[in-house]
């Protein structure tokens, strides 16, 4: 019994269906040619080279009228490289991504409003890097541990103060005879 791994399947296809290889090569080359022609037309017209613009304009230039989808451009190494080379928006977007990752977010949490917008906070966290999130999580855990210690200490202090207060109240009250002593005195007969 043989396992159909991707390499085994590719080997079988190349030996059993050699026409498939030529078909896929022709489709790949069609994508490259159409992307190059579309990018050149966009540049000649002074328009921005974007994936959306290529997908839209390629329908007009394609003799079959199908055009190229965004996924087709991204999945074809040569076509994607040509797009990247001529796209100003791609390069500027990459620069913005690099700048975003360099923005340092304070690991120390600022004052947190309990009524804050949770969705907005979630989006803010999703835009941070993993390293920033780890640093923030560690800082929050440290603060939480310190708060727990402070809470325990304060609870013991409150308990101690309550005990002292009760003791002071007992000392302040005039000493009255004990219950057992009243009964003993009441049962003794008077002798005169």
pLDDT of residue 152: 95
- For the chain, the structural domain boundaries read 14-102, 118-172
Would the pLDDT of 175 be above 50?
yes
- Residue (of 86, 92, 82) closest to 43 by Cα position: 86
Would the pLDDT of 10 be above 50?
yes
3-class SS at 5?
coil
pTM of the model: 0.42
Q: What percentage of the chain reaches a pLDDT higher than 70?
A: 72
Which tens digits make up the pLDDT trace of 119-172?
Answer: 998 898 899 899 989 998 998 899 999 999 999 999 999 999 999 999 999 999
Do 67 and 59 meet the contact criterion of CB atoms below 8 Å apart? yes
Would the pLDDT of 76 be above 70?
yes
């Amino acid at each position: 019994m043989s396992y159909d791994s991707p390499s085994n399947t590719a080997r079988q296809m190349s030996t059993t269906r050699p026409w498939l290889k030529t078909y896929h090569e022709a489709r790949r080359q069609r994508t490259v040619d159409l992307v190059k022609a579309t990018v050149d037309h966009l540049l000649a017209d002074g328009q921005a080279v974007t994936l959306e613009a290529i997908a839209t304009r390629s329908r007009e230039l394609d003799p079959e009228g199908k055009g190229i989808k965004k996924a087709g451009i991204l999945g074809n190494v040569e076509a994607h490289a040509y797009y990247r080379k001529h796209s100003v928006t791609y390069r500027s977007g990459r620069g913005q991504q690099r700048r975003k990752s360099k923005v340092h977010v304070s690991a120390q949490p600022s004052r947190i409003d309990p009524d804050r917008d949770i969705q907005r906070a979630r989006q803010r966290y999703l835009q941070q890097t993993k390293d920033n999130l780890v640093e923030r999580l560690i800082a929050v855990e440290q603060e939480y541990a310190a708060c727990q210690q402070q809470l325990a200490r304060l609870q013991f202090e409150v308990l101690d103060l309550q005990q002292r207060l009760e003791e002071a109240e007992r000392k302040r009250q005039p000493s009255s005879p004990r219950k057992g002593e009243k009964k003993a005195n009441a049962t003794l007969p008077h002798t005169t």
